[in-house]
A and B are shown apart, each in its own frame.
Chain A
Amino acid sequence: MDWQQVPTLVWESAKLGILPALFGLIISVPLGILCARWKWFYPPVLSGASVLYAIPSLALFVVLIPYTGLTDTTVIIPLTLFSLCVLIPNVVDGLRSVPEPVRQAATAMGFGQWRRLAQVELPISVPIVIAGLRVAVVSSISLATLGQLIGVSSLGYLLIDGYQRAFLTEILVGGGLIIALAVVCDLLLVLVRRMLTPWRPPRRRREQPEAVGDPVPALAGGTP
């Protein structure tokens, strides 16, 4: 197999995995803040997310082909939508995890609504939001390889090429690299969280999978 193309493929996979999670974050922070503030707004958003989540990615990719062509955008849009399914609930849970006494203390210190949000509530939400981001990035990296079926290049190329040539090594290398990339991105996000939340004890508590309430399923992150 041709090793020279591997760095390019890794880069493309990383891009298709990280960009959707970032776009998802940019969308879900304001939406999550609104959902945490207005309780009536949250259920419809959650239902929307859970309907979206049911749609297979391959189907969503091909639905977008007439509009965005065979480009990265065609893969990034569905993966961004999927990432919202994990990110919005996590932003809301994060904001709700702020203890009431902390909120009141901030108000008593003269913090206005916005300053309290930016300097107290959002920083306290960081661990939960990053937990969601980790799910989103890992799922996106894995799902982006399906873009190869419509010709959008990523590490999925090694899987398809290996299959067409019945070349087992190439498939194993491709699969291994996809998982390795996901693990590296996951660890990087853990580092980011530690830097952003220096007040937390450095030893990681065992993270339970998020408590799973209806309607967004556990382990949400996207459907193959």
Chain B
Amino acid sequence: MRFLSYAWDWLKVPAQWHGSGGIPVRILEQLYYTGLSLLIAALIAIPLGILIGHTGRGAVLVVNLANAWRAIPTLGLLTLLAVTLGFSALAWLIPLVVLGIPPILVNTYEGIAGVEPELKDAARGMGMTSWQQVRKVEVPVAMPLIVLGLRTGAIFVVATATIAAYIGLGGLGRYIIDGLATDNYGEVAGGALFVVLLALAVQAIFVGVRRLAVPAGLRQQARQT
């Protein structure tokens, strides 16, 4: 594995682990960008997805958004904002949030819209108000998809934050971009290794979140099908 030996040669130098450009700092930066963007994206996308899924209004918009979103070139959005806004917090925050919203929105919408009509009827028959139906029935039933949407969104935001190093953002992408610029493949490989590990860790965390967030009754059902 030539890649790993390059990465190892770079990693074992103690200097990489200290100071403002050191690996621990870069990891924290990456987590900060990712966490903040994902939080904002979720605060926008989850309520909107619940609203659209519950009322059925605006569903066409969600479907089209999903299709358009795949075509957006990440690099285009980043460079566009970097040139128009200069390097500011908004120049990276806007693309990260914008790219994080669609997977969360679409999955939340799908989850809420996919709740069996029988369940909703039963909830109404029990005398629940519209708000209670959403909170006690629809959201818990949609939880697996909402968590899946958050996971996809998180994966996207981690990846986009890496690329945002190109327009000057810190984080682990710095190593890849700087290493490429200075022909230092060891640095590129070290950075890529950490990006991969971080992406896999995020994936694993959401598998855990899913276990916590999904009601026990649904887990039973999922196992049977």
Contact = CB atoms under 8 A, between A and B. Distances in A.
Interface of B, helix, strand, loop or mixed by DSSP: helix
B160 A224 contact: yes
Contact of B196 (A55, A167, A183): A55
Contacts of A56: 158-159, 162-163, 195-196, 199
Interface string A200-224: 0000001111011010011111011
A106 B196 CA distance: 47
A102 interface: no
Contact of A217 (B103, B176, B188): B103
Contact of A63 (B82, B155, B158, B192): B192
Contacts of A209: 63, 66-67, 106, 110
Interface string B68-103: 011111111101101110000000000000010011
B149 interface: yes
Interface in A19-72: 50-51, 53-59, 62-63, 65-67
A211 B76 CA distance: 29
A214 B144 contact: yes
Contacts of B72: 142, 179
Contacts of A171: 76, 79-80, 83
Contacts of A63: 3, 189, 192, 196
A163 B196 CA distance: 27
A56 B155 CA distance: 8
A159 B149 CA distance: 29
B4 to A, nearest CB: 9
A162 interface: yes
Interface in B185-199: 185, 188-189, 191-192, 195-196, 199
Q: B99, B149, B162 — which one has the most chain A CB atoms within 10 A of its CB?
A: B162
B12 interface: no
B45 interface: no
Interface stretch (A2-10, A111-119, A133-141): A133-141
A212 B75 contact: no
Interface in B171-225: 173, 176-177, 180, 185, 188-189, 191-192, 195-196, 199-200, 202-203
Contacts of A220: 152
A50 B176 CA distance: 24
12 contacts: A54-B199, A58-B159, A63-B192, A66-B185, A163-B79, A163-B83, A179-B71, A182-B71, A214-B144, A214-B148, A221-B70, A223-B159
Given A150-B180, A223-B156, A224-B163, 14 more contacts: A55-B199, A56-B162, A67-B2, A142-B71, A149-B75, A149-B180, A160-B75, A171-B83, A179-B72, A179-B73, A212-B106, A219-B102, A223-B155, A223-B199
Q: A-B pairs with the 9 shortest C-beta distances?
A: A56-B159, A175-B76, A217-B152, A163-B79, A224-B74, A182-B71, A66-B2, A59-B192, A59-B195
